[in-house]
Amino acid sequence: MRKYEASIKRIWEWFHKPGLENYIFLILATLLALSIRISLLRFRSVDYPAFQLWYDVIQRKGIRAFANNFSDYNPPYLYLLYLIVRFLPAVNEVVAIKIPSLISDFVCAGFIYQLVKLKNQNKDLALLAYLATLLSPSVILNGSFWGQADSIYTAGLAACLYFLMIKKNWLALISFGIAFAFKLQAVFLLPFLLILWLKREISWKHFLMIPLVYLISILPTWLIGRSLVSLLNIYNSQTSEFKGLALNAPTLYAWIPSKTEPFAMLFPAGIAFSATVILAFVFVVYRSQTRLNPKQLISLALFTVLIVPFTLPEMHERYFFPADVLSIAFGFYFPDYFYVPLTINLISFFSYLYFLLGAGPIPIAYLALAMAVIIAVVGRTVYRSLYQSNNDHPAAEIQP
């Protein structure tokens, strides 16, 4: 009888432990996000056959498939497909292809949780950020519905930002290297890293992790038999695969009619314009005398992953995915600007519809205009925090 009473007492005490409600909320939020994703896994998009082809090649040839150029994706993504083929052979093909993205959604959410928790150690707010990331309409559509891999490299970028904020620079650049090894679009965060180098927050030695991680990522495929030249040329080939100043992307080129656009003339001009804007942004931040704090790092990172795809030509709608995710952390660091993550994520959601469903309720040009307004808002926040007195701006509230 005493043993029974002691057991009941331990159970009672466990249920009344401080913070237990956070764990319960975390479990319920995860289950909710997972159930939504599971319900969408069977959808096949227009570009699904390409992924299916890669998966079928790996199924038939196994590890020997990597000796040939059968995919326009970098090997790390294909390694994930191989692991699924190897250890989960009975899983439905369309579900199997989406598993890496589904898992990466939760990794992204985990790092957003950590970023928000850094602000003031408030686990309640961090849990809300975790849930907001998992329930973002663009995050759900991108991975579990569409089956794209943007959450994989974005998880690396979120990890990079987190490690920079806790002063673990080697881990930060390793994380960036992993992101770059999965997708070329990781370079959208590169101007932010350049700023940190110019302001002596990170060393040039840290940048050596990027090519090192990349070379390690392609090494197995090279050893299996694929040409090193072919492997090093993957990203160059990707850049010439699609032609168009704006491919359903809410960028400044969305106002140019696609049927009449002078692509050959405007593409190099767009590259030059984008480079000028990005270098000007880097210079403005570099000239400030402010020592960057966590709140400024969040806003700078978000502005970077907004302005780069917005000013570059030949962008896809999915290329704002890092902004979708990092904007959620921004919203919790700058609660007065709660509409920023809401707007960015809704813009991405509506722009996705043009590819996934063939049409959308809001013209891409209007979505681009809304994105321009949001970029101006975030840019103003960045500028004020760098050049105005801390007493005049909420950045003063930051805890280093």
The per-residue pLDDT for 242 is: 73
pLDDT band at 22 (very low <50, low <70, confident <90, very high): confident
Phi-psi region at 168: left, alpha or beta (left = phi > 0; alpha = psi -120 to 50):
beta
Average pLDDT over residues 130-153: 94
pLDDT digits (tens, 9 = 90+) for 6-17: 554 454 444 445
The per-residue pLDDT for 15 is: 42
Average pLDDT over residues 259-268: 72
pLDDT digits (tens, 9 = 90+) for 363-399: 999 999 999 999 999 999 999 999 875 444 443 343 3
Q: How many degrees, rounded to 5, is the angle at CA 127 between CA 178 and CA 324?
A: 50
Where along the chain do its domains lie? 22-397
For tokens 């089956």, the residue is 147
Strand-pair partners of 246: 315
pLDDT band at 3 (very low <50, low <70, confident <90, very high): low
Average pLDDT over residues 177-194: 97
Whether the predicted pLDDT of 265 surpasses 80: no
Strand-pair partners of 315: 246
The per-residue pLDDT for 327 is: 98
- Distance CA(143)–CA(221), nearest Å, equals 26
Q: In degrees rounded to 5, what are phi and psi of residue 389?
A: -60, 140
Task: Give the chain's mean pLDDT.
Answer: 89
Percentage of the chain beyond pLDDT 90 is: 74
The per-residue pLDDT for 17 is: 53
Q: How many CB atoms lie within 10 A of CB 276?
A: 11
User: Does residue 57 or residue 121 have the better pLDDT?
Assistant: 57
The per-residue pLDDT for 305 is: 98
Choose from 7-11, 237-241, 323-327, 387-391 the range with maximum mean pLDDT. 323-327
The per-residue pLDDT for 81 is: 95
pLDDT digits (tens, 9 = 90+) for 92-103: 999 999 999 999
User: Does residue 262 or residue 83 have the better pLDDT?
Assistant: 83
pLDDT digits (tens, 9 = 90+) for 344-364: 999 999 999 999 988 889 999
Whether the predicted pLDDT of 18 surpasses 80: no
Long-range interactions of 47-52: CB distance < 8 A, separation 24+: 48/94, 48/97, 48/147, 51/97, 51/147, 52/93, 52/94, 52/97
